[in-house]
Structure 1
Amino acid sequence: ICKMSLNFILIFLASALFHPSLSLSPVLPKDVTQPLEILLDQAVAQYHAKHWPQSVSLFEKALVNYKMSQHAAVACIGRCKAANISREIEEDLQEFPLLKAVGDLVAQASCIKICSEEHPFGSLSTQVLRKDIARDVEARKPYNYLQYAYHKMNLIKKACQAAFTYYQIHTDKEDAKANLDFYRSLPGVKPSYFTDLEADASYQLFVEGAAAYEEKKYGVVVDKIEKCLISFFKAVSDCDSLCYKPVEMITFHKFMKAITEQYYRQISCALKCEDKLSPVVHGQKQQNFVAQCFSYLQFAYYSLGKYEMAVPAAATVFLLDPEHSNAKSNLDFYESKAEEYKLIPSIHFQPRADGVKFHAHKLKNLKFVEDAQMMFGDLEEEELPENEAETENEDTNKHDEFVDE
């Protein structure tokens, strides 16, 4: 293997690697699969022309397009992360770590390419978006257009949903809050109209769990918050996957710097996932969300007399958020009651496995970012520049003019 050239390996990998079998059936109308930027550009044009039905239709298609592109990307990246050169050439490259690293990266890129070709919506996941489009979709701008257009079409429930969805990541924007206040003032509008259309299942589960906590329905708290954690961990994992980008072919002598820089951007992106996905409840972003969930579980299990479940939850809170006001005192309390509650220190006072895994992954990413900065010093995250040719006039999405109607 020492005589095998790098070019041979790369050519071999480029020819054909993994052939994932996907059984999804495409069910979307043909025009939904147009390039996302075309759909959005047309939607904005129709919006400014005050062609509300046409604008709404195009924005809705654009959002479906984006969702399906994310679905395909998560599916293919998840399938291909473990792709490696050794499986294909049946050679052990452990003695050649740099060569193996190159081969593994190309294997992953090739796997993703093949998967995208076979996935029913794979072509959507390979779209290279204009940076202003990527930024606007990430910022949920289509929903700000939609809430106004829905209102013009007298689709008030949909307008409330769109306005609330936009507000959830723009709680500091006065216009976004003013729009919510406007919709709440309309006759016949129900609180149930205000739902976050982009929230994953963990949001509603957390809201229901927190409400049950206030009502001291601790069995419900356990059910909802345990499910919430499962859903949230899955959402963070998917978010991590969407940060991944297949490596581009680079010159060998710049390999280490280029690969480090690419991973730095990927991991910097992944480190934002927890905060990005943490729910906003009553206008407030939930800080240290995972630790907060375990804190709910600790007290709920304690109240149910399930001390053997409460203590690991308490230990997990302390692991994730050592500065939590009650984390240490709760553990001290359980230690004082260990004999009475039949708790075994080596078993029950250990953090839960799901919390440990989540925390370890985060620490590993933080360590990589720190080491990369120390090694190269000049690494920067990839930022989306402001759009100099901004198409949206924010004032056209406000409802001050309708307050007296």
Structure 2
Amino acid sequence: MAAAPDNVASLSRCLPLSPFRFIFVLCLLSSLSLNYSFSFPDSLQNTGTSANGQARLLPPYDGLYLAGVRAYFAEEWEKAAEYLERSLQTRSALDRVKRSCLAGCALDGFGSGPAAGGNSLSDLKFFWTVLRRAECLLFCERNRLEPTARSAVSEEVLADFESRNPYNYLQVAYYKLKKVEKAVSAAHTFFVSNPDHLEMKLNLQNYRKMKGVREESFTDQESRAHWLQFDAARFSEGQGDFLAAAEGWEECVSKTLAAINECRALCEGPYHYHGDDSHLTDKRDLYQSTADHFLQVLSCRQSCVSQVATRPGHIFAVEDFLPSIFEHLHFTYYKGV
């Protein structure tokens, strides 16, 4: 990050840095910075191209999902299955894009040296760093996402994806298309997160009775790597294979920490207003808005520990999940010696 020019440093000594004057100085600094070079990380450059040579941009997954639901109720099963599958794939790709952009635009990538003008510009330096990072994120997302894909998704659609509802529709669509194994996989994926859904439970029982349906079809398409490793390590420990169990618990620790970091990366972004509130009705000053935004991100990041420790289909997190893994690891180390 370029140091603040001398004329801005002298201006800051003349003006008390109230929230409104902060904005004025930041705007001035931003306009002056046009003469300074700023390169984004190479990892943020979009190199993917389509068949006609144009860059591929991710469409909004909520639009694909709603199109799939409309086709479902119109009994257009081929179209419903296509749109629903694409919505799931696009949402997964969107999360990867966000994590990639956030990693490439990390705060420490914008300089950490002392601001010109000494302590009088420490607050200005902080806001300048945040704005430059926001610019980096916008650049990254604009090169990878369609404009509508960068818009906020409704609470209803978010809730449907959290409850794996697209798989409920997919199960029926594939069954109607006589693609039974895909229907079984979709049904099982939905049921893992909704174990009290009686209709799906009956569907799975009927699928098991069907001739030609393999046990391998009953797979969870949304399974989390750390839970698979947790179950495998616990099985090895129960069988008395402590060396294999120790390796499994080590891998479980790595995958759990990776899952927490992935969750925390998705916490950042625009401030989330509740109810009828919006930026148009926001009366907070600069400092209060910034503090509230960072507190919201911090709260989300803290909740990731509980989210990662909650099995799909369960309401409550496993108590002391990560410490319990280390306890198992200690036990298997002791037994494996």
TM-score (norm 2): 0.76
CA distance in 2, matches of 1:92, 1:6: 15
Q: Does 1:167 align with 2:191?
A: yes
Q: What corresponds to 2:218 in structure 1?
A: 194
Is the deviation greater in 192-201 or in 178-187?
A: 178-187
Amino acid at match of 1:21: D
CA contact (8 A) 2:60 2:146 kept: no
1:81 — aligned with what? Answer: 106
- 1:19 corresponds to 2:50: no
Equivalence map 1:209-358=2 (5 Å): 209-246=233-270, 254-278=285-309, 280=311, 287-288=318-319, 289-305=321-337
Give CA deviations for 1:98-157 in whole Å, capped at 9, x if unaligned: 323321221220111122244x45868634323322332233221111122222223232
Q: Please tell me whether the aligned partners of residues 94 and 100 of structure 1 are also in contact (alpha carbons under 8 angstroms).
A: no
Change (3 A) 1:75 1:182: same
Distance in 2, Cα, partners of 1:14 & 1:88: 20
Residue deviations 1:336-360 (CA, integer Å, cap 9, x gap): xxxxxxxxxxxxxxxxxxxxxxxxx
Asked if structure 2 preserves the Cα contact closer than 8 Å seen for 1:68 and 1:121, the reply is no
Name the counterpart of 2:78: 53
RMSD over equivalenced CA pairs, Å: 3.6
1:84 and 1:103 in contact (8 A); partners too: no
1-structure distance, mates of 2:308, 2:107: 25
1:91 to 105, 116, 122: 116
In 2 relative to 1, CA 298–253 (structure 1 residues): closer, same or farther, beyond 3 Å? same
- Going from structure 1 to structure 2, the CA distance change for 1:62 and 1:211 (only over 3 Å counts) comes to same
Q: C-alpha separation between the residues in 2 aligned to 1:297 and 1:105?
A: 40
Once residues 196 and 28 of structure 1 are traced to their aligned partners in structure 2, the CA distance between those partners, rounded to angstroms, is: 31
Q: Is 1:116 the equivalent of 2:113?
A: no
The separation in 2 between residues aligned to 1:252 and 1:291, in whole angstroms, is 43
- Identify unmatched segments of 5+ residues in structure 1: 306-405
Shift of the 159–272 alpha-carbon distance from structure 1 to 2, 3 Å rule, reads farther
2:70 is aligned with what amino acid?
A: A
Same amino acid, percent of matched pairs: 21
1:62 Cα deviation from its structure 2 partner:
1.0
Q: In the aligned structure 2, how far is the partner of 1:281 from the partner of 1:207?
A: 14
Contact 2:58 2:94 in 1 (8 A): no
- Superposition pairs of residues 57-68 of structure 1, within 5 angstroms: 57-68=82-93
- Name whichever of 219-228 and 283-292 sits farther off: 283-292
Offset of 1:270 from its aligned partner?
Answer: 2.1
Change (3 A) 1:282 1:125: closer
Mapped pair 1:38 → 2:63: yes
- Name the structure 2 match of 1:403: none
Q: 1: CA distance between counterparts of 2:283 and 2:29?
A: 14
Q: Identify if the C-alpha distance between structure 1 residues 191 and 128 changes in structure 2 by more than 3 Å, giving closer, same or farther.
A: same
In the alignment, is the contact (CA less than 8 A) between 1:65 and 1:124 conserved in 2? no
Distance 1:31 1:192, change over 3 A: same
Counterpart CA distance in 2 for 1:13 and 1:246 is 24
Is 1:3 equivalent to 2:11 in the alignment?
A: yes
Aligned amino acid, residue 296 of structure 2: R
In structure 2, C-alpha distance between the alignment counterparts of 1:135 and 1:202, rounded to whole Å: 23
- Structure 1 Cα separation of the partners of residues 180 and 32 of structure 2: 57
Q: What 5-or-longer segments of structure 2 have no aligned partner?
A: 1-8, 13-24, 273-278
- Contact preservation (8 Å) 1:70, 1:125: no
Q: Report the CA distance between 1:172 and its aligned residue.
A: 4.3
